Amino acid sequence: MKIAVLGVGTAGIMSLCHTLKWICPEGSTVTSIYDPSVAILGIGETSQPNFVKSLFEGADFNFLIDAHELDATIKLGASYKKWRDTDFDMPMEAPAYGIHFNNFKLRDFCFKRFKEKWGSKFSIIEGKVDKAVSKKSHAEVVVNGRSYSFDYVIDCRGYPPDLTDYTVLDDFTVNHCLVNIIEKPGTWNSSINQATTHGWMFGIPLTTRQGWGYLYNDKITTREEAVGEIQSLFADPNPTLKEFTFKSYYANTFFDGRILKNGNRAFFFEPAEGMAGFFYDTTLRYFYDFVSGQTNVDVLNENLSRTANDIENFIYFLYHGGSTFNSKFWNITKEKCTKKLRVKSAHRWRMTLLNIKKAIAHPELNISTDETGRWSKDLWIRWADNLGYDYFKEKE
Partner 1 sequence: MRIAVVGVGTAGLMSLCHMLAHAPENTTVVSIYDPKIKILGIGESSTFGFPKILFQGTGFNLPEFANELDATAKFGVTYKGWRENDFESVIQPGDYALHFNNFKMKEFCFKRFKELWLDKFQTIEGTVLDVKNNGAYGSVYLENSEEKFDLIIDCRGYPTDYSDYNLIENMPVNHALVHMIPEPGTWNTTIHQATRNGWMFGIPLKTRQGWGYLYNDTITTREEAVEEIAEIFNTTPDKLDLREFPFKPYFAKTFFDGRILKNGNRALFFEPLEALSGFFYEMALRTVFDYYTGVMPGVDKVNDHLTTLSQNLENFYHYVYHGGSVHDTKFWQTVTKTSAEKLKNNKRWEDTVAEVNGCIVGNDLIEKPIGLWFTEKWIDWEDKFGYSYFKPHRGSIYFKRYP
Q: Which residues bind partner 1 (CB under 8 A)?
A: 49-50, 52-53, 55-56, 60-65, 74, 76-77, 79, 89, 91-97, 112-113, 116-117, 189-190, 364, 378
Contact in structure between 201 and 213 (CB atoms under 8 Å): yes
Distance of closest approach, residue 377 Cβ to partner 1, in angstroms: 13
Q: How far is residue 333 CA from its own chain's centroid?
A: 22
Distance of closest approach, residue 65 Cβ to partner 1, in angstroms: 6
Beta carbon nearer to partner 1, 123 or 305? 123
User: How many C-beta atoms lie closer than 10 Å to residue 201's C-beta?
Assistant: 24
Cα 141 to Cα 161: distance, rounded to the nearest angstrom: 17
Which secondary-structure segment (H or E) carries 82? none
Beta carbon nearer to partner 1, 22 or 234? 22
End-to-end CA distance of the chain: 50
Distance of closest approach, residue 14 Cβ to partner 1, in angstroms: 13
Cα 76 to Cα 100: distance, rounded to the nearest angstrom: 10
CA distances from 2 to 32, 46, 278 (A): 11, 31, 25
Distance of closest approach, residue 279 Cβ to partner 1, in angstroms: 18
Beta carbon nearer to partner 1, 292 or 296? 292
Which secondary-structure segment (H or E) carries 302? helix 297-319
Beta carbon nearer to partner 1, 15 or 79? 79
Beta carbon nearer to partner 1, 39 or 94? 94
Contact in structure between 326 and 332 (CB atoms under 8 Å): no
φ, ψ (nearest 5 deg) of residue 31: -115, 125
Beta carbon nearer to partner 1, 300 or 379? 379
CA distances from 21 to 18, 123, 279 (A): 5, 14, 19
Cα 249 to Cα 165: distance, rounded to the nearest angstrom: 10
Distance of closest approach, residue 319 Cβ to partner 1, in angstroms: 23
Cα 375 to Cα 373: distance, rounded to the nearest angstrom: 6
Distance of closest approach, residue 45 Cβ to partner 1, in angstroms: 16
Beta carbon nearer to partner 1, 16 or 169? 16
User: How many C-beta atoms lie closer than 10 Å to residue 64's C-beta?
Assistant: 5
Beta carbon nearer to partner 1, 95 or 145? 95
Distance of closest approach, residue 232 Cβ to partner 1, in angstroms: 28
Cα 153 to Cα 155: distance, rounded to the nearest angstrom: 6
Distance of closest approach, residue 116 Cβ to partner 1, in angstroms: 7
